């Protein structure tokens, strides 16, 4: 029967006690991902080609360069071979760079001359391999070095790849300065960024690690959408990046107040890491340069003690993008192949990045400078992590309210942006 009039309002009975609110939901008990089970171990692969024979190198040094020497040790890595050479007699080492240049021209390849391990007696030559091996993230995670760092509950382990001496390049973000990653398109910049994120997410749960991701290109970081580790939805609009960084600064100020109330200078294991990841700094600097630079600087200067860390990546290491202030505060570097020596000096502090091989061959600068081959990963690992962490809880309940508030802020910012564009167009048309 169709009702023609609304029902009468319910009159509460004041004598009855008010209903008790429902009990809060039980806390989420997170478990780190069993990556040995959900990741697939890839088969070893290598490109076709032949390495330079040792006899040819020694013959060139002795016969062409007139340098009496012997090869003491040969270290074969994924992408390069390093020859540790001992001179038969002490000589002026200034002759060696010229000999290396002549050898590179004769071999038609890039050869790097390393520092001597003993005064006037030793030097090293690093020569690209004719057949390069692929370094997979699974193989690096399955090492004692990664397990040693990951087993420390205060650490945040990330994988870079393999050093040129065949040791795993594994870092603890909690002990590092903030990082700047530079390299041209196809150099391996995005590959290493994915390996760092996958290894961190695999070992640390959402209550141990939160991610603030800014990806104006909408390519590399979008597959992480849906992870419960996200501090807020992935930012793809450049005009929203400034507000997102402002949220990170507010989080830092809040953590600083908590630390002051507790009477400590650094926060303990009960506070999650906040990792701010920017994939393409150039887009942000061209739209909101001053505010972005100011926010990154504040986070870099005060964030480490509060477990807030910044990783910025760019394929345009120019002075107007990676400013002096940004480079001074993001002192850890991952420099991949660049197109010019000027970009190399900005990224690495010296020439040399133009001679790198690409495809993950780079220099890691954390105190000392070491050559690395970036570990390769794919979307399969990301999807496996999302399936593991989201099979019970589709959203991070800890940050659910923040997500709703941020979505509202995003819609308001879009409305403001549309109004600003309308005003600019009207002024341009003389209306």
Write the DSSP assignment of 69-137 as a string of letters. Answer: EEEEEEEE-SSEEEEEEEESS---TTHHHHHHHHHHHHHTS--EEEPPSSTTTEEEEEEE-SSPBP-BH
Q: Residue 417 has what pLDDT?
A: 61
What was the pLDDT predicted at 358?
84
The secondary structure of 177-199, three-state, reads: CCEEEECCCCCCHHHHHHHHHHH
Q: Which residues of 55-93 are buried (b: 16+ CB within 10 A; e: fewer)?
A: eebbebbeeebebebeeeeeeebbbbbbbbbebeeeeeb
Strongest mean pLDDT among 39-43, 76-80, 293-297, 414-418: 293-297
Residue range 8-16: average pLDDT?
Answer: 52
Domain ranges of the chain: 54-128, 137-417
Q: If pLDDT is split at 50, 70 and 90, which confidence band does 405 have? A: low
Read off the pLDDT of each residue in 284-305 and give the average, rounded to a whole number: 90
pLDDT value of position 393: 56
Overall average pLDDT of the 139-144 stretch:
94
pTM over 0.85: no
| Rounded mean pLDDT, 130-155 | 91
Mean pLDDT of 379-398: 74
CATH no. of 137-417 = 3.40.50.300
* pLDDT of 49 above 80: no
Q: What is the pLDDT of residues 106-139, one digit of tens each?
A: 888 877 776 655 555 777 888 888 778 889 999 9
**Range in 90-94, 204-208, 424-428 with the lowest mean pLDDT:** 90-94
Contacts of 418 (CB under 8 A, 6+ apart): none
Res 344 pLDDT > 60: yes
* SS3 assignment, position 158: strand
Q: What is the pLDDT of residue 3?
A: 40
Average pLDDT on 308-328 reads 91
Question: How many C-beta atoms lie closer than 10 Å to residue 138's C-beta?
Answer: 17
The tens digit of pLDDT for each residue in 241-275 reads 888 999 899 999 999 988 888 888 888 878 899 99
Q: What is the pLDDT of residue 1?
A: 41
| Residue 347 to residue 183: CA distance in whole angstroms | 8
pLDDT-wise least confident of 39-43, 95-99, 412-416: 412-416
**pLDDT (tens digit, 9 = 90+) per residue, 159-217?**
999 998 889 999 999 999 999 999 998 888 999 999 999 999 999 999 899 999 999 98
Whether 137-417 and 54-128 are alike in CATH topology: the answer is: no
Percent of the chain at pLDDT exceeding 90: 34
State residue 408's pLDDT score.
58
The whole-number pLDDT of residue 145 equals: 95
pLDDT of residue 422: 74
Determine what percent of the chain is predicted with pLDDT higher than 70. Answer: 82
Q: What is the pLDDT of residue 311?
A: 96
Mean per-residue pLDDT for 408-416? 61
86 touches 122 (CB < 8 A): yes
CA distances from 140 to 118, 150, 163, 228, 427 (A): 31, 12, 11, 25, 58
Q: For the residues 26-52, what does the mean pLDDT come to?
A: 78
Q: Which pLDDT score is estimated for 4?
A: 46
How high is the mean pLDDT of the chain?
82
Q: How far apart are CA 241 and CA 27, in angstroms?
A: 31
- The C-alpha atoms of residue 340 and residue 246 are separated, in whole angstroms, by 34
Residue 396: band (very low, low, confident or very high) from pLDDT cuts 50, 70, 90: very low
Sheet holding 112-114, edge to edge: 69-76, 80-87, 122-128, 112-114
Predicted local confidence at residue 96, as pLDDT:
78
Give the pLDDT confidence score for residue 338 in this predicted structure: 92
Per CATH, the architecture of 54-128 is what? 2-Layer Sandwich (3.30)
Q: Which of 270-279, 299-308, 350-359, 398-407 has the lowest mean pLDDT?
A: 398-407
């Amino acid at each position: 029967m169709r009702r023609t009039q609304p029902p009468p309002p319910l009159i509460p009975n004041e004598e009855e006690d008010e209903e008790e609110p429902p009990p809060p939901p039980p806390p989420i008990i997170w478990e780190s991902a069993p990556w040995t089970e959900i990741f697939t171990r890839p088969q070893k692969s290598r490109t076709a080609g032949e390495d330079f024979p040792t006899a040819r190198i020694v013959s060139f040094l002795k016969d062409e360069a007139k340098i009496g020497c012997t090869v003491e040790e040969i270290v074969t890595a994924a992408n390069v071979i390093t020859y540790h050479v001992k001179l038969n007699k002490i000589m002026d080492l200034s002759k060696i760079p010229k000999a290396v240049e002549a050898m590179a021209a004769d071999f038609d390849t890039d050869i790097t001359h390393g520092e001597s391990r003993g005064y006037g007696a030793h030097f090293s030559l690093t020569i690209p391999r004719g057949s390069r091996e692929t370094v997979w993230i699974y193989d690096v995670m399955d090492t004692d070095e990664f397990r040693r760092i990951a087993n420390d509950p205060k650490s945040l382990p990330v994988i870079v790849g393999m050093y040129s001496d065949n040791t795993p390049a594994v870092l603890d973000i909690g002990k590092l300065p903030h990082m700047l990653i530079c390299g041209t398109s196809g150099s391996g910049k995005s590959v290493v960024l994915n390996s760092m994120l996958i290894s961190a997410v695999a070992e640390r749960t959402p209550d141990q690690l939160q991610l603030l991701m800014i990806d104006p290109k909408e390519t590399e970081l979008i597959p992480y959408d849906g992870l419960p580790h996200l501090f807020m939805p992935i930012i793809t609009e450049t005009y929203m990046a400034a507000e997102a960084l402002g949220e990170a600064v507010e989080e830092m100020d809040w953590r600083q107040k908590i630390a002051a109330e507790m009477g400590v200078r650094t926060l303990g294991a009960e506070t999650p890491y906040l990792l701010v990841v920017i994939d393409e700094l150039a887009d942000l600097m061209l739209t909101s340069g001053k505010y972005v630079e100011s926010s990154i600087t504040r986070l870099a200067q005060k964030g480490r003690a509060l477990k807030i860390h910044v990783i910025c990546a760019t394929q345009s290491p120019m002075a107007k993008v990676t400013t002096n202030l940004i480079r001074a505060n993001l002192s850890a570097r991952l420099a991949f192949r660049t197109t010019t020596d000027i970009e190399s000096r900005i990224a690495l502090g010296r020439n040399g990045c133009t001679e790198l091989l690409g495809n993950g061959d780079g220099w890691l600068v954390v105190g000392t400078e070491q050559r690395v081959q970036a570990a390769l990963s794919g979307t399969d690992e990301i999807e496996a992590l999302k399936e593991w962490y989201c099979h019970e809880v589709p959203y991070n309940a800890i940050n659910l309210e923040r997500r709703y508030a941020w979505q509202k802020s995003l819609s308001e910012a879009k409305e403001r942006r549309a109004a600003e564009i309308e005003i600019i167009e009207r002024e341009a048309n003389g209306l």
